[in-house]
Structure 1
């Protein structure tokens, strides 16, 4: 069964990115209010980008018959789980700790928060479907490799959706949050 989730492709509205003009992305790491906590948060985002690209490229390699089924299943189990579990934990922490702090500091964050939370809800659905498909594919490797290859096509669709959503979402999240952090001297 194919599940297609609408992925937001439009950037955050300009009124939600107003501080970005004063705090451009290229200057963040040199800003005196750029602290280790912000660097670590951005590092987690970079890891999610790398993991999602790896999970997608691994399934493409398998579908192109350049990876054996058992080896691919082991990599999918490991890296797919890392991606899903860490995204869930990261978003839970953002929703419970990070986002309330930013919203309390600046009402402009509150307006963007609704958009980001819609992304989180869409991502939860995509991750759930991806997890089911990946688990099914891993089981099928032992039972019927032809069926496993068919299921891998569905895993590829899910991995591509994850990567597409993360590309938009993480960039928007950073463009909204980091200027507020720098402006209000947060996370020090």
Structure 2
């Protein structure tokens, strides 16, 4: 079993990593929306972006949030709200992904414009979600008391990605 200090370091690193992941996702989304990615590659890049956001949120929902809810029951409502956001965002990504797949397959004439419209919606929702998550979740992760220990929360080591 890990030592308390290494668990604490992992949680602190996760808070910092969360911000870095969000910055990377914001940058990728900006590239898609602003025409940095060539139109011929837009569909494929969008699908990769959608998959990256989905992986990120799935990791939070299955690995991080349950641990935090067990440690601090007062966070359950907030974490449930984030999971709700994740479901809404998943629906938006599914819509954008469908347009991206059409564009990638060449089956739509106005696909790039439609996709950028879908991405504008995704960007607005994601930005609000990221800001809220960064303000509250990172503060929670950074405030974890290393003297309390986290090992009692789970019988297995959790790898944060």
Q: Quick check: TM above 0.5?
A: yes
- Identify which of 16, 22, 32 aligns with 1:39: 16
The 2-side partners of 1:134 and 1:112 are apart by 32
Pairing of 1:77-116 with structure 2 (within 5 A) = 77=44, 79-116=45-82
- 2:15 touches 2:137 (CA, 8 Å); kept in 1? no
Mapped pair 1:74 → 2:41: yes
| 4+ aligned runs moved over 6 Å, structure 1 | none
CA offsets 1:125-144 (integer angstroms, 9 cap, x no match):
1111111101112222xx6x
The 1-side partners of 2:63 and 2:82 are apart by 15
RMSD: 2.4
The 2-side partners of 1:75 and 1:125 are apart by 20
Gaps of at least 5 residues in structure 1 are 1-31, 62-66
1:34 is displaced (CA, Å) by: 7.9
The 2-side partners of 1:85 and 1:95 are apart by 15
The 2-side partners of 1:118 and 1:33 are apart by 25
- For normalisation by structure 2, the TM-score amounts to 0.75
Helix, strand or coil: the match of 1:185?
Answer: coil
Helix, strand or coil: the match of 1:162?
Answer: helix
Partner in structure 1 of residue 157 of structure 2: none
* Count of paired positions: 139
- 1:109 touches 1:176 (CA, 8 Å); kept in 2? no
Partner in structure 2 of residue 64 of structure 1: none
- For normalisation by structure 1, the TM-score amounts to 0.66
CA offsets 1:139-179 (integer angstroms, 9 cap, x no match):
22xx6xxx42x222220111101111110001111112112
Distance 1:151 1:105, change over 3 A: same
Gaps of at least 5 residues in structure 2 are 1-8, 151-161
Distance 1:137 1:33, change over 3 A: closer
